Structure 1
Amino acid sequence: MSTLFESVRLGRYDLSNRLVMAPMTRSRANLDGTPGDLSPEYYSQRADVGLVVTEGVQPSEDGQGYMATPGIYTPEHIAAWRKTTDAVHSKGGRIFLQLMHAGRMSHPDNTPHHRQGVAPSAIAPGAQMFTPTGLQDAPTPRALTSDEVVQTVADFAHAARSAVEAGADGVEIHGANAYLIQQFFAPSANQRDDRYGGSIENRARFAIEVATAIAEAIGGDRTGIRLSPGTPLWGIDEGPEGADLYRYLVAELEKLGLAYLHIMDQGNEALLADLRRLWSGKLIVNRPGRTRDAIGADLASGLADLEAYGQIILANPDFVERLRTGAPFNEADRMTFFGGTEKGYTDYPALAD
């Protein structure tokens, strides 16, 4: 039986264990989209997990939704991210940048160009988000033209090449959590009448084109994708065909030879089992809120090849050692999750402190 502390081949890399740091927005980037000065320390502190997946990184100006999130589409971004990837590699770790286009979950006050957000259709998410002046409604986005959808695919590929140039070992495509790619999946956000809307095949097309373009740009063995079937966030409703869309999508992604599929589980065990059967590659499963005694259960059952954890790794820079030895975990300070300084970011104590 495989264990959490056993090495595993993921794409072109041998990882030291089967634990993954899940992507988590921290909102500590500079206004120009470069990662903050503490980013190298934050990620390298946690480099003992098999794979570090960064916070969501926008692939273009239009991809930004929140305040103080980093990008990976300019030479300045590349140079700044190199400091973080070098720091993780100096600790023997592996790091993938997560490419995240927020789509309609955006506000002009949070972006460098202050333009209206873009999405599959001009439908507001019915949600509020933080801006420099406080909570505001996320406004109605502008629907992407067909040509702009094609350009957005190219933006993702450019960002993937930039990530590798910055020293990243690969990228994870953010197809989850109600952001642009999942917006294409959901009839509640996608009412297009072109080749990107309507049928299951059309609504899955954008995700498949993004994955294909990135795999061609940097290699499928350096490309992963994260999905969250059934996520009910911010007006996303995938409808009665939702499960079938994911079965179709995963079967198509299977053809690309990607490094991994990363599923954030929403409790549909039957669908998760189906996706496991459809996917012959490495499967990462993330179950938010999992208690300590359940860590390793999906690996032990054979469902997952690796397991991803978020807040518990955020609060425990030496998560692997604490898990291995049974040492107590630090508690995460929710008040410091987004924005701020080193407090709740790089100052969580390790056992050796």
Structure 2
Amino acid sequence: MKTLFAPYNKHGLSLKNHMVMAPMTRSRALGNIPNDLMATYYGQRAGAGLIITEGTAPAPEGLGYPRIPGIFSPAQTEAWKKVATAIHANGSKVFMQLMHTGRVGHPANLPAEVVMRGVSAQKAAGQIWTDTEGMQDYGDPVPFTTAEVKELVQQHIAAAKNAVAAGFDGVELHGANGYLIEQFLHPVVNDRTDAYGGSVEKRAAFVLEVVKGIADAIGKEKVSLRISPYNTYNDLSLYDAAEVQRTYEYLARKLNDIGIAYIHISTNPATTPQTLQAIRNAFQHTIILCNELTAESAEAALHAGIADLVAFGRPFLANPDFEKRIAAGAPLNEADFSTAFTPGEKGYLDYPLLQPIAQVS
């Protein structure tokens, strides 16, 4: 049996196989509330040992994109229960990804009374889709005060409690792809002069306070973090490679001390083997590796020593039965990105399943 299909158990994380469905924004949550479409979508893909949901806002200020779900209201918490139930019915585990978009957003995508916030006043270059105004330049963020950062920590803790109340096995903090946590970690975007800006230790203080708070509230085995060293997505600039490695090695060591479930690394072409090894040396619990993996390269990654689990995004988007297809060596459906973020079933629930081979009588 290939490692991909073997059960996994490490430091209390037990899964039916080594395959993870990566978090993917799909923009189907009308009114920012999960719905039956979403429950069906996730239930279809529960061949993965672990599913990580799309980015889910822990606070109204985190709703930077149109039609993304939240987990800060009773209605949202109740609605998520049907998603957790659909995934658990097939023997899979599910972690909810908590994603605060920070400066990556636009006021038109936020509730009317909510101000767009960020780590600093630096505006992201580029544009974002809004349902009411079409494509717009990213909005101008208002920096969180020091006191408001403390409140933000509490909002994340409350959101994690809501996720557990909805039946989720844990939460993954989105510290990658240029969203709020990575904005704190990034020494160019984070130009703060308070306790949350400057040195590696200060830039990492926010996420570590959130992790520790959630671990104390729901259990360390139910909290995890996604990171993307050397990321330039969402207008992040590359900075000194040695500083990148120091940042993530320090973070991994502190997360190991807390004892969280896993670190999920989103790689990119600039990611160095040295940084990956430094994270592996510092963190003894589960490491998930993600981005552009095939079944073959994923299997190789599991044997190479850095990754304990491997995550697939686009293959699961277009192939609800991805695990069956790779087991059978069958061709994969191609993803239709024109419908990736549109409302409705098209390009969401209608990807064809692998058809059984007819038996000749």
TM-score bracket for the superposition, by shorter chain length: over 0.9
Asked if 1:313 corresponds to 2:312, the answer is: no
- Higher mean C-alpha deviation, range 1-10 or range 114-123: 1-10
Contact 2:7 2:18 in 1 (8 A): yes
Contact 1:185 1:238 in 2 (8 A): no
Shift of 1:10: 5.2
Counterpart of 2:273 (choices 264, 269, 276) is 269
Contact 2:13 2:261 in 1 (8 A): no
In the alignment, the residues of structure 2 paired with residue 246 and residue 89 of structure 1 have an alpha-carbon distance, to the nearest angstrom, of 33
Contact 2:245 2:278 in 1 (8 A): no
Partner of 1:184: 184
Shift of 1:292: 4.3
Contact 2:23 2:97 in 1 (8 A): yes
Counterpart of 1:278 (choices 282, 286, 296) is 282
Contact 2:110 2:116 in 1 (8 A): no
In the alignment, the residues of structure 1 paired with residue 180 and residue 105 of structure 2 have an alpha-carbon distance, to the nearest angstrom, of 10
Partner of 2:90: 91
Shift of 1:187: 2.2
The letter for the 2-side match of 1:330 is N
Partner of 1:136: 136
Partner of 2:7: 7
The alignment's C-alpha RMSD in Å is: 1.5
Task: Give the match's secondary structure for 2:54.
Answer: strand
Identical pairs, percent: 44
Partner of 2:250: 248
The letter for the 2-side match of 1:39 is M
In the alignment, the residues of structure 1 paired with residue 35 and residue 340 of structure 2 have an alpha-carbon distance, to the nearest angstrom, of 15
Asked if 1:100 corresponds to 2:104, the answer is: no
The letter for the 1-side match of 2:280 is R
Shift of 1:87: 1.0
In the alignment, the residues of structure 1 paired with residue 25 and residue 11 of structure 2 have an alpha-carbon distance, to the nearest angstrom, of 25
- Higher mean C-alpha deviation, range 266-275 or range 167-176: 266-275
Q: TM-score, normalised by structure 1?
A: 0.96
Contact 1:107 1:116 in 2 (8 A): no
Relative distance call for 1:89 and 1:10 in structure 2 (3 A) is farther
Contact 1:226 1:263 in 2 (8 A): yes
Shift of 1:237: 2.7
Relative distance call for 1:344 and 1:4 in structure 2 (3 A) is same
Shift of 1:114: 5.1
In the alignment, the residues of structure 1 paired with residue 45 and residue 198 of structure 2 have an alpha-carbon distance, to the nearest angstrom, of 42
Runs of at least 5 residues in structure 2 that lack an aligned partner in the other structure: 357-361
The letter for the 2-side match of 1:50 is G
Contact 1:315 1:348 in 2 (8 A): yes
Task: Give the match's secondary structure for 1:56.
Answer: coil
Contact 1:59 1:72 in 2 (8 A): yes
Q: How does 1:36-55 map to 2 (within 5 A)?
A: 36-55=35-54
Relative distance call for 1:292 and 1:9 in structure 2 (3 A) is closer
Q: How does 1:54-133 map to 2 (within 5 A)?
A: 54-113=53-112, 115-132=114-131, 133=133
The letter for the 2-side match of 1:99 is L
The letter for the 2-side match of 1:270 is Q
Contact 2:20 2:312 in 1 (8 A): yes
Contact 1:187 1:237 in 2 (8 A): no
Task: Give the match's secondary structure for 1:296.
Answer: helix
The letter for the 1-side match of 2:235 is G
Runs of at least 5 residues in structure 1 that lack an aligned partner in the other structure: none
Asked if 1:324 corresponds to 2:312, the answer is: no
CA deviations on 1:93-152 (whole Å, 9 max, x unpaired) are 111100000000011100123533111111101121011221101122000000100010
Partner of 2:359: none
Contact 1:127 1:138 in 2 (8 A): yes
May I ask how many residue pairs the two structures share in their alignment?
Answer: 351
The letter for the 2-side match of 1:61 is P
Counterpart of 1:299 (choices 293, 299, 302) is 302
The letter for the 1-side match of 2:43 is S
In the alignment, the residues of structure 2 paired with residue 300 and residue 128 of structure 1 have an alpha-carbon distance, to the nearest angstrom, of 40
The letter for the 1-side match of 2:207 is A
Relative distance call for 1:10 and 1:25 in structure 2 (3 A) is farther
In the alignment, the residues of structure 2 paired with residue 111 and residue 11 of structure 1 have an alpha-carbon distance, to the nearest angstrom, of 39
- Higher mean C-alpha deviation, range 230-239 or range 219-228: 230-239
In the alignment, the residues of structure 2 paired with residue 72 and residue 291 of structure 1 have an alpha-carbon distance, to the nearest angstrom, of 32
The letter for the 2-side match of 1:56 is G
In the alignment, the residues of structure 2 paired with residue 275 and residue 225 of structure 1 have an alpha-carbon distance, to the nearest angstrom, of 13
Task: Give the match's secondary structure for 2:24.
Answer: coil
